[in-house]
Amino acid sequence: MRILMCGDVMGRAGRDVLNDHLPELREALKLDFVLVNGENAAGGFGITGEICQALYQLGADAITLGNHAWDQRETVSYIEGDAKLIRPANYPPGTPGHGSGLFELADGRKVLVIQVMGRLFMDAIDDPFASLDALLEPYLLGATVDAILVDIHGEASSEKQALARFVDGRASLAAGTHTHVPTADHMILPGGTAFMTDIGMCGAYNSVIGMEIAPVIERFTKKMPGKRFAPVLDDGTLAALYVETDDGTGLATRVAPVRIGGILAPAMPD
């Protein structure tokens, strides 16, 4: 199976670069499944139903969220009716939406998508390790499901790495989102799970994690509320992770970063 996981879509620049390149990537890489983190897609804060539908039209098969899941008020009601929109599974019981989703491809193969959110320097929510265990328990990779993709949304690299090692051999892919900075450690873990500490963002890198620079510096230097942060609107980079899996085991056989557009050095699978 050929899989692409796109990092956090940051505002219009992120949406535009996906619009420009995701359809051609689906064709060029012969992708079977595309997962997009969309938690910053609406002006840097959350997502809307309209944006979800636009991302699906571009080629996203599922969308994950994160700590900005509820920044747009409409998401609370919209998420219940969209099974392809996945929020962190370790939110407390009763939280609207779905923490995982099982997707069937046209050829009958099945893909399980799970998202968990870290707790270090993040909201005090339920245990992501226990949540992963509970969600993985009913499935056997390569037998009852053909691929398992885990979006680890977290601030601390140590926690994201620990969560990926925790599911090594039980997932096809376990990769980090949230920091908006692509790391240089893409690899296949010893048990066969593809990993990258953070995929980075689909957004403008001439910025501070996608936001306009001056208001962020002012907030750091003056320690006072100031101009509302707003995303940089153009010159976006598409940052993603490409993974190939074995059809028999569901484990990763190949992993490579993808970067297109903007100011970062380009990267594509050979």
Task: Kindly indicate the confidence band of residue 270, based on its pLDDT and cuts at 50, 70 and 90.
Answer: confident
Residue 164 identity (one-letter amino acid) = A
How many structural domains comprise the chain?
1
Output the domain CATH number for residue 243: 3.60.21.10
Task: Kindly indicate the confidence band of residue 227, based on its pLDDT and cuts at 50, 70 and 90.
Answer: confident
- At 35-93, the pLDDT tens digits run 999 999 999 999 999 999 999 999 999 999 999 999 999 999 999 999 999 999 999 99
- For residue 224, the model assigns a pLDDT of 81
Q: Is the pLDDT of residue 223 over 90?
A: no
User: What residues make up the domain containing 50?
Assistant: 2-260
- For residue 228, the model assigns a pLDDT of 83
Which residues, at least 6 apart from 8, have a Cβ–Cβ distance to it below 8 Å?
A: 14, 37, 38, 39, 40, 66, 177, 178, 180, 199, 200, 201, 202, 203, 210
Q: Report the pLDDT averaged over residues 206-228.
A: 89
Q: Report the pLDDT averaged over residues 238-256.
A: 98
Task: Kindly indicate the confidence band of residue 167, based on its pLDDT and cuts at 50, 70 and 90.
Answer: very high
- The single residue listed with the structure tokens 């098969």 is 61
**Distance spanning both ends of the chain, measured CA to CA:** 17
Q: Is the pLDDT of residue 226 over 80?
A: no
Q: Is residue 269 part of a domain?
A: no
Q: Report the pLDDT averaged over residues 158-183.
A: 98
Nearest to 186 by CA among 251, 126, 255: 255
Residue 28 identity (one-letter amino acid) = A
Q: Is residue 267 part of a domain?
A: no
Helix (H, G, I), strand (E, B) or coil at 148: strand
Contact 14, 236 (CB under 8 A): yes
How far apart, in whole angstroms, are the C-alpha atoms of residue 267 and residue 260?
A: 7
Average pLDDT, the chain: 96
User: What amino acid positions are annotated as catalytic residues?
Assistant: 68
Q: Is residue 270 part of a domain?
A: no
Q: Is residue 268 part of a domain?
A: no
- At 102-123, the pLDDT tens digits run 999 999 999 999 999 999 999 8
Q: Is residue 95 part of a domain?
A: yes
